[in-house]
Amino acid sequence: MDINAVKTNAKLVAEEWKEQVTERQQRTELQEDDYNQLKSINIPLLGVPQEFGGLWQDLQSTGSSICEILRILASGDPSVALSSTMHQGVLSPWRSGKVTEEYREQWNAQKAEVFQTVLEGSWWGTIVSEPGSGGDSGLTKTATKLDSGLKYFMTGKKHFGSGSGRTSYMTTRAVPEGEETPDIFFIKVKDIPWDGSQGIQLDNPWRGRGMRSTNSHAFTFTNFPATRIAWPGHSAELMASNGGLGPVAFTSVITGVVDSAMAHCRENLQKILATSPKLKAFQEVHWTQAEQEYWLINQAMKTTLETLKDGTSDRYNSLMLKEAVANLADSILNRLCKLTGGTAYTWYSPLGGWLEDVRALGFLRPPWALAYEQLFNMSINEQ
Ligand SMILES: Cc1cc2nc3c(=O)[nH]c(=O)nc-3n(C[C@H](O)[C@H](O)[C@H](O)COP(=O)(O)OP(=O)(O)OC[C@H]3O[C@@H](n4cnc5c(N)ncnc54)[C@H](O)[C@@H]3O)c2cc1C
């Protein structure tokens, strides 16, 4: 079992999914079969360190491979790829946390427990976002009551929980009783009904304009059991320790969608040109500009993956990549829809669905306003 085998198998899975694009774009729910297919090619093990039986070596070698694999999978089904991305991301604190001596024993025990759940077949996700927080988890209001040790009960509203129903565990943030700063927690959600009888109430099922089958539902939690991260009070360090992998992983998913859209249009244009001598000037200009923007995305992705590989990746670069690609991908899909004509506006073409899918990137963490605030501050104060 190695990462190259996962990549090869991911290509086969994506090819199969591409054939089903029309039906997949109509879906509004994540299918268990798709997650099982990902499991059969060892996708969940990508985020588990080798010493615990997984495939993760370090950020340099495994981080960039994860991004390449996500890009491949997203070219087949963006919703499945995006929701499974959360799994790799949320395991990062336990992969990289360098905790102080005082906490080492309980940290090592928790780490072993977390990775063991994945080996036993559990998917992880995250439900950090809170309505009205603007994507800033530092503004988390969800409260907790201490039970004992690292065990708490949490109460609060959360939304955008991608993978809900398919995940067994989710990370989140909440304010520990008696403290002011939110910390990282995880919750076991497997087989818990969503009717409020055991502390989880489904407020709104996901109805995304794009990424329609990510199951990113909204819930209210009431006195729901939650386990605090075993290195309390260090959430900022732990969240930063993934070296900017999160935004690059999200961007890889969207780039996979652009790959499929460009290939789809190129094939259509070649077919048209085989029988008619010329396209309209409008179509030629928009295609060529889409190509320019696609070239920029590919250059930016390549450079960013190189920085992950050589250990020079940083927050500024990965965030700039995410925001730049959010704009470029949106522009490309708009151009492809316009040059294709009216069919692109219907469900008979995949382009309109992909347009909505790529728009997700700007809303993913950190969403537009927060991302631009952070970029502005970094550009003025740190560059
Ligand atoms: C496809 C997808 C999947 C996601 N998956 C996950 C996930 O798995 N886990 C997770 O934790 N998060 C997930 N997210 C959430 C994401 O990370 C952001 O947290 C999310 O987009 C919420 O941030 P927000 O600023 O858009 O919304 P909010 O936190 O609701 O903030 C909205 C902001 O807009 C303001 N506002 C609201 N309405 C108006 C109005 N009418 N006029 C003016 N201002 C207004 C509010 O005051 C607030 O500042 C996902 C997002 C997407 C798009």
pLDDT at 184 over 90: yes
Q: Please check whether residue 238 lies inside any domain of the structure.
A: no
Residue 93's domain comprises: 3-119
One-letter identity of residue 193: P
Q: What CATH number is associated with residue 190?
A: 2.40.110.10
Tens digits of per-residue pLDDT, 279-306?
A: 999 999 999 999 999 999 999 999 999 9
Cβ of 128 closer than 6 Å to ligand 1, yes or no, is yes
383: pLDDT confidence band, cut at 50, 70 and 90?
A: low
Residue 226 sits in the same domain as residue 308 = no
Q: Give backbone dihedrals phi and psi of 209, rounded to 5 degrees, phi first.
A: -65, -35
381: pLDDT confidence band, cut at 50, 70 and 90?
A: confident
d(CA 172, CA 154): 10
Tens digits of per-residue pLDDT, 250-285?
A: 999 999 999 999 999 999 999 999 998 789 999 999
- For residue 98, the model assigns a pLDDT of 82
240: pLDDT confidence band, cut at 50, 70 and 90?
A: confident
Can you point out the beta strands (E) in 8-130?
A: 124-126
d(CA 263, CA 269): 10
Domain edge (last residue) among 186, 212, 233: 233
- Cis peptide leading into residue 366 (ω within 30°): yes
Nearest atom within ligand 1 for CA of residue 211? 1
Cβ of 367 closer than 6 Å to ligand 1, yes or no, is yes
What 8-state DSSP symbol labels residue 180? Answer: S
d(CA 24, CA 10): 17
Q: How many CA atoms lie within 13 A of 7 on its CB side?
A: 11
Distance 142 CA to ligand 1 centre (A): 16
- For residue 305, the model assigns a pLDDT of 96
Closest-CA residue, ligand 1 atom 38, reads 132
One-letter identity of residue 322: K
Q: What CATH number is associated with residue 58?
A: 1.10.540
Residue 187 sits in the same domain as residue 306 = no
Tens digits of per-residue pLDDT, 50-101?
A: 999 999 999 988 999 999 999 999 999 999 999 999 999 999 999 977 899 9
Say how many domains are in the chain: 3
Distance 366 CA to ligand 1 centre (A): 9
Write out the DSSP string of 247-285: HHHHHHHHHHHHHHHHHHHHHHHHHHHHHSS---HHHHH
One-letter identity of residue 374: Q
CB atoms within 10 A of CB 170: 25
If one residue of 86, 162, 184, 374 were mutated to test the ligand 1 pocket, choosing by the most ligand atoms within 8 A of its CB, it would be 162
d(CA 127, CA 354): 24
